[in-house]
Chain A
Amino acid sequence: MDEMSLILSRIQFAMSAGYHFIFPPTTLGLSFFILLSETFFLTTKKEVYRKLSSFAVRILTLVFALGVATGLLLPFMFGMNWAEFAKHAGALFGVQLAVEATVAFTIESVFIGVLFFGRERIKPFWYWLSAFLVFFGSHLSGYIIIAANSWMQTPGGFSIDPSTGRMIMTDFWAFNFNASVGIRWLHVMTAAWMVGAFLLVACAAWFLKHDKDVKLAKTLMTFAGTIALITAVAQPIIGHMSTLQIESTQPAKGAAMEGQYLTQKNAPLYAMGWVDEQNKKVDGIVLPGMLSYFYSADFNYEVKGLDNPDVNKHGIPPVQWVFQNFRLMVLAGSLSLGTILFALIFHFRGTLARKKKSLTWLIYAAIFPYVAVVTGWFTAEIGRQPWVIYPVESMNYPGLSTADALTKNLDSWNVWFSVIVYFAIYAICTVVFLRFLPVIVKKGLDPQPAGHAAQAKE
């Protein structure tokens, strides 16, 4: 097997999925905000909610287009770089992706068109319904994709065809309600709402800083800031529950996240540190006993480390990567929480609009939830290594390793070519996003149609 092809394919997939995963959470977060605004508009008939909703819709179309562009690539990669995976699991995994395209993504993409162009063409209730369907479609789509990914972590609903050695589907619902999907979906959706809320808070901060549409901007700050605060508070709790889930189904990932090489009572928690993979130890700032306490509210609880055969029976992931990404995620999440807490205190005291430096910080703080989302994703996926599909003892399923999932005879020149093309496209995507997001924002919270302005001049 060609080592170069494997390494390049892994880097390519990690970068592509990671880059793609900037946009869908934004879509989810904005669609949630839009649904809330439209609901308030429908019930109270206050223009302010219509204006805020329309503003979010204008951002949504840009984000959605980039999400589609970067996301369409991923299913192709399963056939191109991971053909053995596609053959092995296609009867289940392919069905899931096809269901996502037909059932969920269709709703989302069709009704986003209505949201963007349809305000004057349909009655308010139908417009509200479109907002609901965009919300529903995008969150259903999120569920289906997270279910597919969770299934690779905790597989179920299949058997192996003895004649081909490939999977066949025995239970569609066991696939979709696998062991880890519930808590992981909640974790990702909360992250997505946080991402969307922080982006809108950053927009509101920009308007306040530049003294533009101040009244609307303050409402936006209250509205989006509240969502940001609630999600930022809820996320550590949900994340903790997700950790407990990992501990029960993928103990090696859990131990790598915490850098626990030794099985011990009164297990320490590393606030930060550096993993020495050769000597199997972690140097860093230690909170004694806190990990045991986190896992069971008992300092005497015995935490199983990577030396334990129950933990390492399926191999050990790259500990440093998992450990550091996990810490980055927690750090970024904590910074988000601290930022929004202070911002809202200033905002409700009425002093935020005067604090220009705080506003600048708030604009750049929109990046924290993104960092948390991407590093969290890396933690989950690198922590699963060396498996693409995790082994299940109770089903006698030996798993599919990442190396075995690679296309046979994959030419590394081909992969170089695709890596270069994809990265060029991501560069264009980034340019478009960074160039046109400000254009959309600077049009303001209550822009006058270009046509009307031209007529007024005449």
Chain B
Amino acid sequence: MDFLNNIQVWQAFWFVVIGAAVFLFLWLDGFDLGIGMTLPFMKSKDQQLSALNVIWPIWDGNELYGLIGGGAIFATFPVVFAALLSGLYPWVVLLLLGIMLRPIVFEAWSNEPGSKTLWTWLFALASFLIPFVAGVALGTTIAGMPINAQGVWDHGHGFWEALSPLSVLCGLAVVSLTLLQGSAYLVKRTSGDLQAQARKDLTPRTLFTGIVLVLVLVTALLSPGLFDGKPLALVGIILGLVFILGGLVGVWLHRDEKSPDAAPYWFSSAIIAGTMILVGGIQFPNMIRSTIDASFTLTIFKAGVSNPINSLVLIACVATVALAITAVYSIIIYRVFKGKIDHKTHEHY
């Protein structure tokens, strides 16, 4: 087990763990966010109640994976954590606005349901801000930030420099993925007119997702120097595209009523998996690219913690066990609350 004594192996390991956490977040919380954005456009209070009943018991557990991803960055790449959050300060405030509004408005709406109230719109706003800003932040780490020799956002570069074509497209891509995931999950878990509407939404949302993802890839390919020192880019792009195209075609083919209700959801999830593989391939081994000088780029080898190996092993063991237990909980909770949902489901109390 000699390679375990190589600190670079551990840094790569954490890169994969963080990617996996982000994937779990987009996969599971993705439908919560997509449903949230759709909420004000639903036709009746009963439809809204059915939709919220679907995500009610599970959404905070889903959001947790995003938190785990952030925590893992803090723990294993503190320099990246500091550079990212302090550099993108005003954008992170918007992300936090979404993250904090969501549970508050959820509580408010559940005590005071109404189809087009302030709470409904605030819920949609929160559900939009989270994926959009998270996507922009992810895009910025790929496209590059003005990182200086000290490893932080260089003074004199304004916050708007985070908005490159690639980062904005990444923001839109994450929004489109969550929108599609939301419709697909409603098809799986509901019935009646709400399910029918969600099924109709599948077609435009699949199209939108496909177009945005193609634009992201093309913009990345046209960016000068983006692929310098990226050993896994080609593998990531090819493997990612297989999943993405398979998923897009799969959702398209299963958009009718004769297909199994769960099919669009699983194909839509495959698109998210493909996107993460593609992004991971393009990103490795970078954490944040520097637009000032390539040598200032924060790679996993430069930004990783230099703990002694035994403490790295201990943390990895704790994280593995904790994630395994978390997975068991998640499976239990999805089993407890499985089955079709309507507006009366959680009315018993």
Contact = CB atoms under 8 A, between A and B. Distances in A.
B348 to A, nearest CB: 5
A9 to B, nearest CB: 11
A26 B253 CA distance: 50
A300 interface: no
Nearest to B106: A65
B64 A90 contact: no
A241 interface: no
Nearest to A104: B322
Contacts of B67: 72, 75, 101, 105
Contact of B71 (A66, A101, A436): A101
A425 B61 contact: no
B85 A79 contact: yes
Interface stretch (A30-38, A111-119, A260-268, A275-283): A111-119
A120 B60 CA distance: 21
A120 B57 CA distance: 14
B111 A440 contact: yes
Contacts of A348: none
Contact of A73 (B76, B96, B329): B96
Interface stretch (B97-105, B200-208, B210-218): B97-105
Interface string A312-343: 00000000000000000000000000000000
A425 B104 contact: yes
Contact of A65 (B92, B107, B322, B337): B107
Q: Main secondary structure on chain B at its contact with chain A?
A: helix
A75 B71 contact: yes
Contacts of B78: 86-87, 89-91, 94, 166
B306 interface: yes
A4 interface: no
Contact of B82 (A84, A109, A161): A84
Interface size class of chain A, counting residues whose CB lies under 8 Å from the partner chain: 35 or more
B101 A425 contact: yes
A47 to B, nearest CB: 15
Interface in B217-237: none
Interface string B51-70: 00000111011001001101
A94 B75 contact: yes
A112 to B, nearest CB: 8
A73 to B, nearest CB: 6
Interface in B76-126: 76, 78-79, 81-86, 89-90, 92-93, 96-97, 99-104, 106-108, 111-112
B137 to A, nearest CB: 12
Interface string A73-84: 101101111011
A172 B311 contact: yes
Nearest to A99: B318
Contacts of A84: 82
Contacts of B192: none
A62 interface: yes
A91 B305 contact: yes
Contact of A109 (B61, B306, B332, B349): B61
A230 interface: no
Interface in B227-276: none
B1 interface: no
Contacts of B83: 83
Contacts of B85: 76, 78-80, 83, 86
Contacts of A421: 93, 96-97
Given A109-B61, A117-B56, A90 B93 contact: no
Nearest to A100: B71
Given A109-B64, A169-B311, 7 more contacts: A58-B349, A65-B106, A94-B76, A95-B75, A97-B74, A114-B333, A166-B78
20 contacts: A69-B103, A76-B70, A79-B86, A80-B92, A86-B82, A98-B319, A101-B71, A102-B68, A102-B323, A110-B332, A114-B57, A116-B57, A117-B56, A118-B336, A121-B337, A168-B306, A408-B150, A408-B152, A425-B104, A436-B112
Interface of A: 54, 58, 61-62, 65-66, 68-70, 72-73, 75-76, 78-81, 83-84, 86-87, 89-91, 93-95, 97-103, 105-107, 109-114, 116-122, 161, 163-164, 166, 168-172, 407-411, 414, 417-418, 421-422, 425, 428-429, 432, 435-436, 439-440, 447, 449-451
Interface of B: 56-58, 60-61, 64, 67-68, 70-76, 78-79, 81-86, 89-90, 92-93, 96-97, 99-104, 106-108, 111-112, 150, 152-153, 155, 159, 305-308, 311, 314-315, 318-319, 322-323, 325-326, 329-330, 332-333, 336-337, 344, 346-349
Nearest 5 interchain pairs by C-beta: A90-B78, A79-B85, A94-B74, A98-B71, A83-B82
